[in-house]
Copies of this chain bind each other. A is one copy, B any other.
Amino acid sequence: MEKSVFKCKVEPRNVDFTSRATVSSMCDIILYVAGRDAHNRGFGIQVLADKNFGWVLSRLCIELDYMPREYDEFTVHTWISDYNRLSSTRNFTLTDGAGREFGRAVTQWCMLDYDTRMPVDMKTLEKVHDGTIVDCPSPCERPRRLGAVKSEPILEHKVAYSDIDFNRHMNTMRYIDLIFDTMPIEVPEKLEAVRMDINFLREALYGDLLSLKGECSDTVRTYEFANEAGDALCRFAFEIR
C-alpha cells in the first residue's frame, strides 16, 4: 500500500491580510484531503452512510514550519498508519515545490453509529481498513491529550447558519477562526511557525450558545469551548513561534 498524493494550492480565500495561509485554512485543506482520500479508497462518508455510520474527528495536530503564501503550491501525502477498537490514525506530510517537508499532521477518527450516537467498535468493521494501512509511522508527535481550561469566559457565541456543516455541527474551521479573532492581531501577523492540537469531546449544534475560555503562557495558548450546560465541547492548544 502506498501513500496517497494530493496537489494543493493556497487560494485567495485561504490567506489573511499578511497574504499567507491562515491556520484554519491549512486545517481545512488537511480535512479536505482526508475526505477525498477516504472517498477515493471507498471508505468515505457515502459508503458508511448506507449503514448510517460516519467518521468523526476526535483529535488532530498540525505542525507548520512556516505559513505558505498566496498561490504557493504544495503536495500533501496522506496515509492511515494503524487503528484500534476506538480510532483510526490518518497522517499527513506537506512538502513544497522542491520536495522539502514544511508541515505535518496527525488526525484520529472514530466511527459513529448515527442511530445510537455511540462509537462503533472498529474491529467489527475490519473490512473498512482492509488494504488501507501503510507501514509508516506518524510524522510527528501524535495529538496531545488536553486538560480543562479554567479561566473566565472571554467570548460567547451562538452557533449560526454560517458556522455549521452538512451535519448541522459547528465546523472545525469556525472554532479556529473564533479563537484567532480573540488574539491580538500581532499574533497571526508575526506568526512564523505553529503547532496546533485539538481534542473534540462533544459536538455543538445549530443554536447552541458556546462560551470560550482561554489561557496564555510563555509557550502555549490553550482554549476550551463549552456549551450552556458547562460541558466541554473541544479544546485547542497553540504553540506559536
Contact = CB atoms under 8 A, between A and B. Distances in A.
Interface string A9-37: 00111011101001010001000100100
A178 B157 CA distance: 13
Interface string A138-169: 00000000000000000000001111111110
Contacts of A178: 162
Closest 8 CB pairs of A and B: A162-B177, A160-B181, A17-B168, A161-B181, A161-B180, A19-B166, A162-B181, A17-B164
Interface of A: 11-13, 15-17, 19, 22, 24, 28, 32, 35, 70, 160-168, 173, 177-178, 180-181, 183, 185, 188, 206
A160 to B, nearest CB: 4
Contacts of A19: 166
Contact of A161 (B15, B32, B185): B185
Contacts of A17: 164-168, 206
The residue in A15, A16, A28 that gathers the most chain B C-beta atoms within 10 A of its C-beta is A16
Nearest to A183: B161
Nearest to A35: B12
Contact of A185 (B15, B32, B206): B206
A45 B70 CA distance: 13
A160 B183 CA distance: 10
A13 B24 CA distance: 12
A48 B188 CA distance: 27
B164 A16 contact: yes
Nearest to A24: B162
Contacts of A12: 32, 35, 165-166
Contacts of A32: 11-13
Nearest to A187: B161
Contacts of A183: 161
